[in-house]
A = this chain, B = another copy of it.
Amino acid sequence: MANSKYEYVKSFEQPDLLLPNTWIVIRIDGRGFHKFSDKYAFKKPNDRRALDLMNAAAERVLIELPDVVVAYGISDEYSFVLHRSCTLFERRSSKLVTTIVSMFSAYYVHLWPSFFPYSPLTFPLPGFDGRAVQYPTVQNLRDYMSWRQVDCHINNLYNTTFWTLIQQGGMDAKAAEAELAGTLAADKNEILFSRFGMNYNNEPDIYKKGSIVFRDYELVEATTSSPALNEEALTAPEIALSKTQAEKERKARQKAKVVVQHVDFIKDDFWEQRPWILSNRPGKIKREP
């Protein structure tokens, strides 16, 4: 029974290669997480266990996929950045996106009991969707990252004030929403401080700044000509590596420790001190203290 009669159907598969030499951001979002967070009684405005679970799943993605140079998560979303030189799966979009979504979903479900030991998962299970976006320059990529971190700040300040008005101020959701309509950041800070004695700046960084995941090496002192700001250094063809060299560096990256931090990366400092993130070339292994 030969299969040749039907094999023509393979010709309907259409290529979906991403453009070479662009930064690839794979962004995933929880499906129906509003309902899901109610079902498992997530704490408001932030549930530390839920964020830690997201971060644990993201860490696994970086550990298993050395092509991911950095990831950033807030709430039920995570953005994974593949280096512009990445050739994994020939840069096939659906293969890249589904691999990361599958991995993240599997770890989220598998690790759930470690973070929610008293709330076993029931059907329907949580899930994530994802998409790939390409950014041609370091500037575009950093602006994407900054966009997400500013969003984290805006949302968290709003949510913190909203839930404080409800939980400590005794308002219902409608009243709290009305109270906040049209307020600026300073107004919200003031509400928290004057009415509830709460200094927003003292809130945990994981809520205010989100979570950035990367391979950690020894910090580098920032200089004016640091590569984090230098498109050319990052795109010059001379740094194209031989296959052997690339494979060697890939393995070096696999040895680096993957860490989760909650810091500002809108300013240049973060990138200048960690040039290995955007260059994708291994840094100096940290000496243990």
Contacts and interface: CB of A to CB of B under 8 A. Distances in A.
Given A105-B105, A237-B143, A6 B150 contact: yes
A3 B185 CA distance: 12
Nearest to A135: B12
Contact of A98 (B6, B97, B235, B236): B97
A257 to B, nearest CB: 16
Contacts of A143: 5-6, 8-9, 237
Interface string A168-186: 0000000000000000010
Interface in A118-138: 121, 123-137
A15 interface: yes
B101 A60 contact: no
Number of copies: 4
A102 B131 contact: no
Contacts of A19: 12, 14, 19, 22, 134, 136
- Interface residues of A toward B: which range? 35 or more
Contacts of A137: 21, 136-137, 231, 235
Given A12-B20, A136-B137, A99 B123 contact: no
Contacts of A109: 105-106, 109-110
A157 to B, nearest CB: 9
Most buried by B among A93, A128, A136, A229: A136
11 contacts: A6-B143, A8-B143, A14-B133, A60-B124, A93-B94, A94-B129, A95-B129, A99-B127, A102-B104, A106-B108, A231-B231
Interface of A: 1, 3, 5-17, 19-22, 28, 31, 60, 64, 84, 92-95, 97-99, 101-110, 121, 123-137, 139-140, 143-144, 146-147, 150-151, 153-154, 185, 229-232, 235-237
